Chain A
């Protein structure tokens, strides 16, 4: 047993960021297994661009470069951004998105700890708004019986924009699960037709999952549980987010299963798990009080479900996070816990 004083040193930022990066590794591995090695190049491009942008911004702002560039926060932003763009998007897209995330969303607001918006999500949203066509070009998972590119061909396509002779992107393309459900429901297809589509056929060894893409979500979940166990992230955020997302989708799925997809589908497609453990939990842009965190994450879950179900975009995590980022300081202000030893003052009207 240790004797007093029980001093706790705050974990250095580098260690936090290292653990977040480690937690992303299973997700990245699953991603590369499902979609091909192209994602590894995207992550490399994003990392190099993020570090270069970070160094340039620090230099412009007359800050010391070394302590800030080695804190690892830019690398985590870059990885999250690379993981949210389509795996075969051209090299300039991930570079532009990273420059916007680090330069515009982080350093224009004052750098590390000062940004009101999640930088990776700003980069993603800018690309989504500016290049809607390119952002919907996802290639089919490798497990599907379609034309597949080898790793080298994927890397060549990302860098040059040219496919091997005789191939067009349409032969490789496939809508994401969220995308195909959204389009098919608009065309009045029935749920059972939609879920017999090719994207919902999983590889033989993964028959317990609804689609190959869902494997990535499971891998992110593993990383997220590791972060929870290490107490790097605050539990109210992922719990409230996932509870509301699953609760809303479950409720409406019970009422009308022909129109609303199941909670399992919402959990395992798109950015739900990545968002829950890696994006909603960003300590800079989330509130700091317990009640504030619960409200914040719950509303992100609600908005995500609303955007996915009724909105114009297939996935809503990024936009929901950005909208709630604006509300975070407000939530912090109105959810201050009572000072220890005092009764919380209820029903006191201000200005009287």
Chain B
């Protein structure tokens, strides 16, 4: 017997990346989404760190779910999450120190990111280890996707670049990887997009876009069902 059937994993992935996307469907964990999404590199880095924490924490919590007394579950979950975040914090400090300095307080704050605890509470404490691990990491990657798109939008509108700050991750040699969509000599800058209002406006457009796509799919499905009914009747 497989730990995880193909259908099951497909449902989990679809659910986590699209239907219940942390930022666009559940509106959870918005504080780091809004602050850190000023460019792709920051957004994706924090998103991946969150995904890693969610992968391990969901799996760990699913492992011990039958041993946890119901009344004490919140402190126990938080303890596990906090221990994992501390490890990620130390790892990032050691290996990507420049990026660590830029992300600052938002790495330790992954502990309090409500999407991590929400998945522990709503999913990992009720489901098997494999399902929970997949759910955790996919929720994290869904968040990372939003952070990447929002970061790209804000960076593009705000500074006319993509992937700025990539040298913080891959060393000074990566400086030339930065894509200047608007050539650097124009000194293009639109501060609003980089500042917090840009994050709110950008997130608003993303949420509206997701809902528009959902609505279109819904009408299409309804139309198809109607046509199928007519075909049966005929």
Counting contact residues on chain B (CB < 8 A from A), the size range is under 10
Q: Is B217's CB within 8 Å of the partner chain A?
A: no
Most-contacted residue by chain B among A104, A126, A129, A130 (CB, 10 A): A130
A108–B201 CA distance with the chains assembled, in angstroms: 10
A126–B191 CA distance with the chains assembled, in angstroms: 9
Q: Is B177's CB within 8 Å of the partner chain A?
A: no
Q: Which of A104, A108, A129, A131 contacts B195 (CB 8 A)?
A: A129
Q: Which chain B residues border A129 with CB–CB below 8 Å?
A: 191-192, 195, 197
Q: Which chain A residues border B192 with CB–CB below 8 Å?
A: 126, 129-130
Which B residue sits closest to A127, measured CB to CB?
A: B192
Q: Is the Cβ of A131 less than 8 Å from the Cβ of B191? A: yes
Q: Is the Cβ of A130 less than 8 Å from the Cβ of B201? A: no
Interface string of A121-151 (1 = CB under 8 A from B): 0000010011100000000000000000000
Q: Which chain A residues border B27 with CB–CB below 8 Å?
A: none
Q: Which chain B residues border A104 with CB–CB below 8 Å?
A: 201
In this complex, how many residues of chain A approach chain B with their Cβ under 8 Å: the count is 6
Chain B, range 175-220, C-beta contacts under 8 Å to A: 189-192, 195, 197, 201, 204
The prevalent SS among residues of B at the interface is helix
**Shortest CB distance A162–B (Å):** 16
A129–B201 CA distance with the chains assembled, in angstroms: 15
Chain B, range 70-97, C-beta contacts under 8 Å to A: none
A131–B204 CA distance with the chains assembled, in angstroms: 23
**Shortest CB distance B187–A (Å):** 11
Q: Which chain A residues border B191 with CB–CB below 8 Å?
A: 129-131
A48–B154 CA distance with the chains assembled, in angstroms: 28
Q: Which chain A residues border B189 with CB–CB below 8 Å?
A: 130
A126–B189 CA distance with the chains assembled, in angstroms: 13
Most-contacted residue by chain A among B191, B192, B195, B201 (CB, 10 A): B192
Q: Which chain A residues border B201 with CB–CB below 8 Å?
A: 104
Q: Which chain B residues border A108 with CB–CB below 8 Å?
A: 204
**Shortest CB distance A141–B (Å):** 29
**Shortest CB distance B160–A (Å):** 14
**Shortest CB distance B219–A (Å):** 15
**Shortest CB distance B208–A (Å):** 9
Q: Which chain A residues border B197 with CB–CB below 8 Å?
A: 126, 129
A108–B207 CA distance with the chains assembled, in angstroms: 13
A129–B190 CA distance with the chains assembled, in angstroms: 9
Which A residue sits closest to B195, measured CB to CB?
A: A129
Q: Which chain A residues border B195 with CB–CB below 8 Å?
A: 129-130
**Shortest CB distance B156–A (Å):** 15
A130–B204 CA distance with the chains assembled, in angstroms: 20
Q: Return 14 A-B CB contacts under 8 Å, by A number.
A: A104-B201, A108-B204, A126-B192, A126-B197, A129-B191, A129-B192, A129-B195, A129-B197, A130-B189, A130-B190, A130-B191, A130-B192, A130-B195, A131-B191
Given contact pairs A129-B192, A130-B189, A130-B192, a sample of 11 additional A-B residue pairs in the complex whose CB atoms are under 8 Å apart = A104-B201, A108-B204, A126-B192, A126-B197, A129-B191, A129-B195, A129-B197, A130-B190, A130-B191, A130-B195, A131-B191
Q: Lowest 10 A-B CB distances belong to which pairs? A: A130-B191, A130-B192, A126-B192, A130-B190, A129-B192, A129-B191, A129-B195, A104-B201, A131-B191, A129-B197
